[in-house]
Amino acid sequence: MFDIFKKDKSDHKKNDNLYINISALLIHVAKIDENYSEQEKNIIKKTLIELGLSNQDLDNIFKKSEELEKNSNQILEFTKQLKNKDEEFKIKIVEALWKIIYADNVSDMYEASLMRRLTGLLYLDAKIVGDIKNKIKNIPKK
């Protein structure tokens, strides 16, 4: 009977780790141009909520993600759980990544290089990622 509760805690911890890794990846992309803005933070938080994170857990997960990203020197650990998710889930992540990159209306060579690398790490077709890029790039900015 008590195994049920243990499993729930374990699943919750797995989900927390997934959200922390997603957020850390998004933060990493936001910081790559050395301009980590409030607009980018808002995109990250909105993405986490859209992916199912509760509002009550958002600040805690976001704080842990910033710490993880700050202390990490590679993106591989952020993508480990993501690569096994379904394509629709990964597409949502890629959309968020491009929104972050184009938050300042510019994609520099470091951001483009990172996205090419992430395309491979997430096992996504380059055409799909390119189509998402063009869709996000052509959204009128406020």
Q: How many CB atoms lie within 10 A of CB 53?
A: 22
Is residue 115 within 8 Å of 97, Cβ to Cβ? yes
pTM, 2 dp: 0.86
Domains in the chain: ranges and CATH: 2-137 (1.10.3680.10)
Q: Choose among 33, 11, 6, 12: nearest CA to 114.
A: 33
First to last CA, the chain: 54
Please give the Cα distance from 103 to 88 (Å, whole number).
22
Per-residue pLDDT of the chain (142 residues), as tens digits, is: 444 434 444 455 668 999 999 999 999 999 999 889 999 999 999 999 999 999 999 999 999 999 999 999 889 999 999 999 999 999 999 999 999 999 999 999 999 999 999 999 999 999 999 999 999 998 886 6
The phi-psi region of residue 66 (left if phi > 0; otherwise alpha if psi is between -120 and 50; otherwise beta) is alpha
